[in-house]
């Protein structure tokens, strides 16, 4: 797998004292980065969609905890626990639908409860980011292996490097499938109302040199009926313990159409997206 070609985009970059985010509201017309120096800035970036995608939100929140701990620790090493708790609540409230956010915050909270240093917290956030990238690449390989050579695939919303630490979940499978020669046709929906498919997924595919067709959301069923699509591949915002999946509006109708037309349906997500409490 040529990751130098298919995994070049990084929407989150830890700078040591700040979290640099590619402002996804400005894509595809402009590539503008935002430097977040506080938990409040990270929470605002999550809430206003500068950073989006369940895995990316979790990673950003983990770095937000690092920034909060640094800001709330005095020169003599004393920590403002009340202020730190407020920062974590603000991060948790920034996107309650993304279970990865709560998962990452709980993981960081365990270290805080154990009295971890800012350096230890930063190391944990880096580990969360690296684990996500490794999981995405592994899922890409596993998912691509299920796809018969010459297949057409359709994806919805944005599930690529912009939504994760890198490579992507559903888009990672597509990248791996294209690289291995299994995927012959790629279709991505515009994804109304925020047009993540038009603005973000199409941009990523162009960056990678992957030949893809952008379609209006309402054309998906036609492509399935005519045999152009053999797989629908999507990500997930949250997966319940029984396998029920919450994802971008429009995913349900794709699942119904796929079932009706005998098209296979794949949900690609890391373990952190599974909410075992539901």
Q: Which of 27, 23, 25 is nearest to 11 (CA)?
A: 23
From the list 7, 87, 208, 237, the catalytic residue is: 237
Q: Which residues of 98-124 are buried (b: 16+ CB within 10 A; e: fewer)?
A: bbbbbbbbebbeebbeeebebeebbeb
**Contact residues for 52 (Cβ-Cβ < 8 A; gap 6+):** 24, 46, 158, 162, 163, 196
Helix (H) or strand (E) holding 196: helix 196-196
Structure tokens at 44: 């605002």
Query: DSSP secondary-structure letter at 7?
Result: -
**CB-based burial label for 195 (10 Å; 0-12, 13-18, 19+):** middle
- Relative to beta strand 238-240, strand 245-246 is antiparallel
- Relative to beta strand 238-240, strand 183-189 is unpaired
**Active-site residue, 80 included:** no
- Relative to beta strand 238-240, strand 274-275 is parallel
Helix (H) or strand (E) holding 212: none
- Tokens 């890391």 sit on residue: 270
* Residues carrying an active site annotation: 237
């Amino acid at each position: 797998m040529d990751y130098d070609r298919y995994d070049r985009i990084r929407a989150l970059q830890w700078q040591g004292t700040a979290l640099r985010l590619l402002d996804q509201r400005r894509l595809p017309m402009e590539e503008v980065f935002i430097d977040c120096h506080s938990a409040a800035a990270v929470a605002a970036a999550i809430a206003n969609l500068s950073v989006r995608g369940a895995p990316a939100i979790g990673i950003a929140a983990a770095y937000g905890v690092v920034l909060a701990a640094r800001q709330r620790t005095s020169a003599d090493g004393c920590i403002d626990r009340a202020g730190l708790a407020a920062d974590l609540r603000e991060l948790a409230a920034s996107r309650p639908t993304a279970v990865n956010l709560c998962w990452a915050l709980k993981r960081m909270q365990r270290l805080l409860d154990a009295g971890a240093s800012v350096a230890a917290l930063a190391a944990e956030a880096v580990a969360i980011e690296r684990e996500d990238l490794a999981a995405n690449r592994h899922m890409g390989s596993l998912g691509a292996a299920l796809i018969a050579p010459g297949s057409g695939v359709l994806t919805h919303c944005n599930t690529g490097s912009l939504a994760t630490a890198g490579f992507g979940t559903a888009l990672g499978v597509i990248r791996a499938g294209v690289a291995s020669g299994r995927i012959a046709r790629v279709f991505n929906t515009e994804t109304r109302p925020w047009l993540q498919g038009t603005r973000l997924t199409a941009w990523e595919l162009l960056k990678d040199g992957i030949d893809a067709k952008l379609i209006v959301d309402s054309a998906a069923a036609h492509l399935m009926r005519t045999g152009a699509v053999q797989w629908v591949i999507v990500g997930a915002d949250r997966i319940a313990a029984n396998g029920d999946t919450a994802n971008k509006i429009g995913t349900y109708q794709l699942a119904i159409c796929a079932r009706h037309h005998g098209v296979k349906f794949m949900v690609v997500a890391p373990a952190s997206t599974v909410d075992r409490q539901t």
